[in-house]
């Protein structure tokens, strides 16, 4: 079925819950067994709250179908999903190739936590493509991608990277939060492990912290064992909210996409703007690969401003009224934050400050008017 249809129907358990449309919230730790024989055999669908409930099962089954993978595992946050995926894939003495455009908190995860476990990380240029083969080592077990990259929005050549990684015996992991499985099918492009910060577009309402990892068949047992051993769990309430958000994600994403493109095209004409970082724009350096591999774009993009004083930049940021100054994204509200870009391999070229914008569900004309008056405040402060 089409992904829009799967978002509505996948993971439904109405027949088991008296026709109720949404799987109810199960807040559970203890699950009672009818007798000793059943307890000892353990052949029941739910054994203990941490090991899954109908609510988490509904969510995991829904995203598995949407992703086209073999099985999904729910996690307590997006970063928790990344941590889980890396810890399930890597061990002491292994080598990880991590894109230099990764989500910021992934760096301390690699440089502090994984290093303590004897796992070495090498950061690579996100635009390396198939040339990543020259960075592969005999002990390289994983190549981590994020496309488009956080803050800078470079588009990676995932099929080329995957081919080189698989030739060297490494698994390919990808943070696919920007596009979601609606706009990028990770498994069709060679990814083995697809990761979502479901806090963002899946939840969609800025009121849940949750993530998931979806894997191909070759990784099911390894990840099932790792989830059990690590004690990962997401509450029934969070799974319910994420599942509810999933049902409307296609229509919300369509609005996010159109508003973001409207804002990006308007911003690209502003005299205060050096360049807009949005791969769906025809002039973007990553547009050709984006057009080849993606089915759509989302509401998140970057804007590199021309050089200005800090007071002028502050006037711009403080001048917005409809854009909230806050982290995360994917909710119904528009957001804007300064982009603090950290790179190890290739310096990101920007003469002035860079901001990250999330286009929410407001009327785009109101958002443009809000940015326009913020630019006027910026000009007055120069």
Q: What is the pLDDT along the chain (382 residues), one digit of tens a residue?
A: 889 999 998 888 888 888 888 899 999 999 999 999 999 999 999 999 899 999 999 999 999 999 999 999 999 999 999 999 999 999 999 999 999 999 999 999 999 999 999 999 999 999 999 999 999 999 999 999 999 999 999 999 999 999 999 999 999 999 999 999 999 999 999 999 999 999 999 999 999 999 999 999 999 999 999 999 999 999 999 999 999 999 999 999 999 999 999 999 999 999 999 999 999 999 999 999 999 999 999 999 999 999 999 999 999 999 999 999 999 999 999 999 999 999 999 899 899 999 999 999 999 999 999 999 999 999 999 8
* CATH code, 249-381: 3.90.1150.10
**By C-alpha distance, which of 380, 372, 376 is closest to 323?**
372
* CATH code, 3-245: 3.40.640.10
Phi, psi angle pair for 127, to nearest 5° = -95, 15
What residues are annotated to the active site? 50, 103, 175, 200
- Write the CB contacts of 228 (distance below 8 Å, at least 6 apart in sequence): 51
Domain chopping of the chain, boundaries: 3-245, 249-381
Report the chain's terminal Cα–Cα distance, integer Å: 55
Looking only at the bridges linking them, the beta strands covering 171-175 and 193-196 are parallel
Using alpha carbons only, give the angle 10, 69, 301 rounded to the nearest 5 degrees: 85
């Amino acid at each position: 079925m089409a992904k829009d249809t799967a978002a509505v129907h996948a993971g439904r358990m109405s027949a088991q819950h008296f026709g109720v449309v949404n799987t109810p919230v199960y807040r559970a730790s203890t699950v009672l067994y009818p007798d000793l024989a059943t307890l000892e055999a353990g052949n029941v669908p739910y054994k203990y709250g941490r090991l899954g409930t109908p609510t988490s099962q509904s969510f995991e089954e829904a995203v598995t179908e949407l992703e086209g993978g073999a099985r999904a595992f729910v996690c307590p946050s997006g970063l928790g999903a990344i941590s889980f995926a890396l810890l399930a894939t890597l061990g002491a003495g292994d080598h990880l190739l991590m894109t230099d455009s990764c989500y910021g908190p992934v760096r301390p995860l690699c440089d502090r936590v994984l290093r303590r476990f004897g796992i070495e990380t090498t950061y690579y240029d996100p635009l390396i493509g198939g040339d990543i083969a020259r960075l592969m080592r005999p002990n390289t077990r994983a190549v981590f991608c994020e496309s488009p990259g956080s803050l800078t929005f470079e588009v990676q050549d995932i099929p080329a990277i995957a081919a080189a990684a698989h030739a060297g015996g490494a698994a390919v992991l990808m943070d696919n939060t920007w596009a979601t499985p609606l706009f990028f099918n990770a498994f069709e492009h060679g990814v083995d492990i697809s990761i979502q910060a479901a806090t963002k577009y899946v939840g969609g309402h800025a009121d849940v912290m949750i993530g998931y990892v979806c894997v191909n068949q070759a990784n099911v047992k390894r990840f099932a064992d790792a989830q059990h051993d690590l004690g990962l769990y997401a509450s029934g309430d969070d799974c319910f909210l994420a599942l509810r958000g999933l049902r409307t994600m296609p229509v919300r994403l369509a609005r996010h996409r159109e508003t973001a493109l409207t804002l990006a095209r308007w911003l690209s004409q502003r005299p205060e703007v050096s360049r807009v970082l949005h791969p769906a724009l025809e002039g973007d350096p990553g547009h050709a690969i984006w057009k080849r591999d993606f089915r759509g774009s989302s509401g998140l993009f970057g804007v590199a401003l021309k050089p200005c004083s800090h007071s002028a930049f502050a006037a711009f940021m403080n001048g917005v009224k409809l854009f909230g100054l806050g982290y995360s994204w994917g909710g119904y509200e528009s957001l804007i934050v300064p982009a603090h870009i950290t790179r190890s391999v290739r310096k990101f070229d920007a003469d002035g400050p860079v901001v990250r914008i999330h286009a929410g569900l407001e009327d785009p004309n109101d958002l443009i008017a809000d940015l326009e008056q913020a630019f006027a405040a910026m000009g007055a402060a120069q």
